Structure 1
Amino acid sequence: MGAQVFRSAVFLSAGLFALTFALSAEAKPAYSFEVPGVSDDIADAIKGASLTRDAMRSDEETGAQDLFASARADYERIIGVLYARGYYAGSISILLDGREAAGIEPMDAPQTIGRIDIRVLPGPRFTFARAAIGPLAGGTQLPSGYRQGETAGSGTIIAAARAGVDAWREDGHAKAAVRHQQITANHRTETVSSDIVLDPGPEAHFGILHARGNQRLRTERLLEIAGYPTGRRYTPERIEEVRARLRRTGIFSSVTLVEADKLRDGDLLDGDLTVVEERRRRMGAGIEYGSSEGLTLSAYWLHRNLLGGGERLRWDAEISGIGGTTGGTDYSLGVRLDRPATFSPDTSAFVTSTVARTHEEDYTQDAYSVGVGLAHIFNERLSGQVAIQYDWQKVTDDSGDTIYRQISWPSFLLWDNRDNVFDAKRGYYGRVGATPFYGLGDSTGSGMQLTSDLRAYKAFGAEGRFVLAGRAQIGGVFGPSLEKTPRDYLFYSGGGGTVRGQPYQSLGVRVLENGTLKTGGGRFAAFSGEFRAGLTESIGVVAFYDAGYVGTDDYFNDSGEWQSGAGVGLRYATPIGPIRLDLAGPVSGSTGDGAQIYLGIGQAF
């Protein structure tokens, strides 16, 4: 009996101790934060700098030691905010149970804290009595607030010094720096005098690049790809170009390029490059679905450094039309080998080949192509490509078998300043292509295909919650008759890439005397508009309208027809782009009826 009472007393005591400990761990000190005499935006900025405030607002437990450390750190953080906004006579009080945190020695840190009181008196706002800086490079753009009579924020002074140094660097003076600065606050007049003296240093030219970190990539090829502009006048933009060339190869997981601390031989600036190589191989896959197109499965295999010179080998395979109503299942296999830094650091040479079998509703095609070409990066927005290619196709339709053979010169220019390739909210995209071709044999004509794809995006609302997106596609084949034009050069409308709500490639033209053979048209135009709205950070909705035209030999006349479709969609954001689900139906045209469903990754355009 005594032992049982003893055990009960032990359990009761342990329970009370655990309860007391839990309550004390969960309890937070009483807390106040006052910033009198200033506007709400200034008060919010001051409070936003406080680590103590963050800890008090957090749901996580914070011990007395952590609160004490946060309080001591807050003095410097809040002073930084005050100085940045021109308050140089402020006072800060942070009381922990009535004791000023700055006066408590770290070894005497409180074991418990029952109350925290923060009070900040910003005091008067100081203005510039003098705002001097020099010498300045031509065209220097100083902050508009760095002048007499304006608020003398420390951030403005720092921005002025940075602007002066950056302007000299852009003018070729790589080691420009602040030689001397004197900042004096006069508390009697509530003014600040700022004197900044710059040292431009000599005009610099690029020296040599020292590289390390490469293991499989040969050093001479690394330097060729980098394209360090030895001998040319220094500009920061050229350093960024070197970094960009190295990153876009995909060979490296890390690229670090720093300028030498000192100029060599008076005016030569060397560079120190450190790279970390990415894994050589990579695989990927994709999936899309359309109710008329069926299921599309794609995959690729990539080797980033095939021969030790940065060569990029990529295989692409695709099976499409699975379960669709477009004539059958299509297959394609392509390979491309790129060699960066050929002829120039921004020019790549490539060899490419593709084999494909296509089952469309009106014809079946076996195709093969092989080509060589050059791709060039003009700047971070503009790129282009030109190639020479041999194409062979065998087309089987209601008229029998036709063999097309031609030499073509496919080329394009691409402009892209979108903020996000997979989910653009701002910017423009434009791709203009020209493919002259010369027919080999009686069944293939000669001519040119022209194409353009133009897109624009405009975000509005809080944090770009709403987006207007528009797209225009225009194409044409000039020269041969439709019968002598390879099918790959002709145009169709309908499906996820042109007019949603209409079946895939449902709109073409009819040729031959009795008009019974359906084929693609020689003229094409399509227009799409979307309104995108974000409901949450992950979920968004879309409303869209698409229209397309296909004609025989002219735009917008009796030789062609229009079709259109409209619908709504749902988007779910993922790290690789939004998952897209669109439901659309026909609006005009006689090519199909009923709803069409589209599922994929990334926006429709």
Structure 2
Amino acid sequence: MNRLTRTILCAALMGVPGIGAAQNLDLNVSGGSDDLRSELKDAMSLYALADAEETTPQALIAAAQADYERIVAALYGGGRFSPVVSIKVDGREAAEISPFEAPASINTILIEVDPGPRFQFGRAEIAPLAEGTEIPPEFQTGERAGTAPIRNAVTAGVTGWRNVGNAKARLAEQEIIADHPERALNVRLRLEPGPRLRFGEIGVSGNDRVRRTRIREIAGLPQGEVFDPQEIADAERRLRQTGVFGSVAVSEAETPNADGTLDLDVQVAEQKPRRFGFGAEVSTQEGGKLSAFWLHRNLFQGAERLRVEGEVSGIGTDSDEMDYALRLTYGRPATFTPDTDFFLTAGIERLNEPGFTSNQANIAAGLTQRFSDQLTGSFGLGYRYIDTEDAFGAREFQLLTAEFGAIYDTRNNTLNPTGGYYLSATGTPFLGLDDTESGLRFTSDARGYVGLGAEDRFVLAGRAQIGSVWGPSLGETVPDYLFYSGGGGSVRGVPYQSLGVTLPNGDFTGGQSFAGVSAELRATVRDNIGLVGFYDAGMITEDSGFGGDRDWHAGAGFGLRYNTGIGPIRVDIATPVTGDDAGRNYEIYIGIGQAF
């Protein structure tokens, strides 16, 4: 047998003054590939000591003795069950050297490994299994043997029983025999399902300010019902989503109760109840925007959230006035059901938009329902007062609103997705008071993402938006219910809300319908650096349902992304590709997260 030898010199392994350390660390692997040698190096603690500033002979002897087991475990994991391992310290086998009799200095440590042949599964049996349990396909006769497929098979078998209520299912017996002449690994695993259990008492520990009764309500564990590990995962998710707890864990009692129930303990660690923050955003057309918020996470000791936020936008633009907003949001989790949250919002706002200016006040209350990990819905009732001036003059509007919304989200990352899609739809029927007309406003947003290449180096992203208002005429529609196009949220490269409806007298206002599409090609050029090319287009029509005269515009450009732990920092440069300004003007947009 030819021996491939790889020698690694680690002259930096110096001991403390007066005590020498190993000057040569050699690894010889018979018939091994570079990948195998790399795996063994990663598994060994001797190589980890190579970077230590001070390494004593005693530490090297202890590491060498531990590395026998580490090397064998790594080889077993790769399906090699007849290895021969030798670790010699200055010619002596490390296993025979007492750590208390370590030499004053070590010159050479030689590791010799004969990994032996790879084994296949001869027999691969696991029983009994719960109905519907799927065992990993790599655990079957003829497949490459290894410890990982065995562990995965046990995990799948135990999980299958737990999913049907047998919470204490376990591996009761295992028989693993290596047939060296046949190079086969024969495995027989026997599971012990244990009894089918129900959820018992729900204890709470670690809480400080949040009441235990509210923690149980939010967790929503169904006491008395058949044990289900998904219920535990949902309980942990609900508690984390409140934002009140820094850590959440649900632990099971070691022993079931005599009545067939299993007690649980909900362990939590609370975060500080108060928090504040601020943000900034800038674009060449919309100007700068500053925002700040103050948050109380546990207002009435029931994980209720109160958030007060303010915003000033339009900073540095040519406009005479800036926009101001002050909003209050109250949220209460686990209202009526564990997955139903109550919300109350109120706010005042000053808007100075290209097509109108207005002073507004609003209040609304409603419920948000989580139907699954991907699907959420909401319903709310509210009142709005708007004092506005636009192309149709100075007017007042009063509305009673009902808002129905749904979001279906399968994106793998909300700030930087590389796969999945996002669908949202919102319908807002409104009843006009004091001569205000009634009607319905509808909006929808669809986004999709496809990753291409190794590790999704390239991503194709697309977006489509539509919206329309039915009921009132154009001149009787609340100005901020009308649609405009242009700017960072619709068509980059053209001025903010520059596309709308031009009336016969030359005045400018929004349209009753909008459609927009965007496409991006995102490429990762380095670990934290990405480039983006994009094209946006938008259309506005004068009438409901995309009737009447219509106009559209488009913009294109490129962007730079710098990935951070909280999402990519975005810088986009865009220019119009339609109209008289095509290719002449440009807009710059800066923010956090992808454009969509």
Q: What TM-score bracket applies, with the shorter chain setting the length? A: over 0.9
Query: What is the Cα deviation at residue 223 of structure 1?
Result: 1.2
- Match 1:454 to one of 429, 435, 446: 446
Q: Is the 8 A contact 1:429 1:454 kept in 2?
A: yes
Query: What is the Cα deviation at residue 419 of structure 1?
Result: 2.4
Could you tell me which residue of structure 1 aligns to residue 568 of structure 2? 578
Q: State the SS of the aligned residue for 2:145.
A: coil
Matched, 1:49 2:49: no
Q: State the SS of the aligned residue for 1:451.
A: strand
Percentage of identical aligned residues: 45
Query: What is the Cα deviation at residue 192 of structure 1?
Result: 2.6
- Match 2:189 to one of 177, 196, 200: 196
- Matched residues in 2 for 1:25 and 1:476: separation? 82
Could you tell me which residue of structure 1 aligns to residue 379 of structure 2? 386
Query: What is the Cα deviation at residue 221 of structure 1?
Result: 1.3
Matched, 1:117 2:107: no
Could you tell me which residue of structure 2 aligns to residue 302 of structure 1? 295
Could you tell me which residue of structure 1 aligns to residue 497 of structure 2? 505
Q: State the SS of the aligned residue for 1:224.
A: helix
Alignment of 1:239-318 (within 5 A): 239-318=232-311
Kindly provide the amino acid, as one letter, of the partner of residue 503 in structure 1: P
Q: Cα 1:533–1:59, aligned 2, differ >3 Å: closer, same or farther?
A: farther
- Match 1:223 to one of 194, 216, 229: 216
More displaced stretch, 548-557 vs 316-325? 548-557
Query: What is the Cα deviation at residue 80 of structure 1?
Result: 0.8
Q: Cα 1:121–1:301, aligned 2, differ >3 Å: closer, same or farther?
A: same
Could you tell me which residue of structure 1 aligns to residue 410 of structure 2? 417
Kindly provide the amino acid, as one letter, of the partner of residue 198 in structure 1: L
- Match 2:472 to one of 462, 465, 480: 480
Q: Is the 8 A contact 1:470 1:530 kept in 2?
A: yes
Give ranges in structure 2 of 5+ residues lacking alignment: 1-13
Kindly provide the amino acid, as one letter, of the partner of residue 409 in structure 1: A
Query: What is the Cα deviation at residue 63 of structure 1?
Result: 4.8
TM normalised by structure 1 equals 0.91
Q: Deviations over 1:155-183 (max 9, x none)?
A: 22222122111111112211111122222
Query: What is the Cα deviation at residue 251 of structure 1?
Result: 0.8
Q: Is the 8 A contact 2:211 2:301 kept in 1?
A: yes
Matched, 1:175 2:168: yes
Give ranges in structure 1 of 5+ residues lacking alignment: 1-19
Query: What is the Cα deviation at residue 292 of structure 1?
Result: 0.6
Matched, 1:372 2:365: yes
- Match 1:37 to one of 28, 31, 35: 31
- Matched residues in 1 for 2:201 and 2:244: separation? 22
Query: What is the Cα deviation at residue 24 of structure 1?
Result: 10
Could you tell me which residue of structure 2 aligns to residue 549 of structure 1? 539
Query: What is the Cα deviation at residue 60 of structure 1?
Result: 5.6
- Matched residues in 1 for 2:281 and 2:401: separation? 30
Matched, 1:431 2:421: no
Q: Cα 1:486–1:591, aligned 2, differ >3 Å: closer, same or farther?
A: farther
Q: Cα 1:405–1:89, aligned 2, differ >3 Å: closer, same or farther?
A: same
Q: Is the 8 A contact 2:86 2:93 kept in 1?
A: yes
Q: Deviations over 1:457-516 (max 9, x none)?
A: 2223333332222211111112221111112211111111111101111111123xx342
Query: What is the Cα deviation at residue 21 of structure 1?
Result: 9.6
- Matched residues in 2 for 1:215 and 1:434: separation? 41
- Matched residues in 1 for 2:476 and 2:462: separation? 34
Could you tell me which residue of structure 2 aligns to residue 471 of structure 1? 463
Kindly provide the amino acid, as one letter, of the partner of residue 573 in structure 2: L
Query: What is the Cα deviation at residue 28 of structure 1?
Result: 6.7
RMSD: 2.3
Q: Cα 1:72–1:589, aligned 2, differ >3 Å: closer, same or farther?
A: farther
Query: What is the Cα deviation at residue 65 of structure 1?
Result: 4.1
- Matched residues in 1 for 2:44 and 2:102: separation? 19
Q: Is the 8 A contact 1:326 1:504 kept in 2?
A: no
Q: Deviations over 1:244-286 (max 9, x none)?
A: 1100001111112111112223421211111111101111111
TM normalised by structure 2 equals 0.92
- Matched residues in 2 for 1:220 and 1:230: separation? 14
Q: Is the 8 A contact 1:564 1:586 kept in 2?
A: yes
Query: What is the Cα deviation at residue 48 of structure 1?
Result: 2.8
Q: Cα 1:177–1:79, aligned 2, differ >3 Å: closer, same or farther?
A: same
- Matched residues in 1 for 2:183 and 2:355: separation? 84
Query: What is the Cα deviation at residue 99 of structure 1?
Result: 2.2
Kindly provide the amino acid, as one letter, of the partner of residue 459 in structure 2: V
How many pairs does the alignment contain? 582
- Matched residues in 2 for 1:518 and 1:111: separation? 90
Query: What is the Cα deviation at residue 573 of structure 1?
Result: 2.4
Kindly provide the amino acid, as one letter, of the partner of residue 431 in structure 1: S
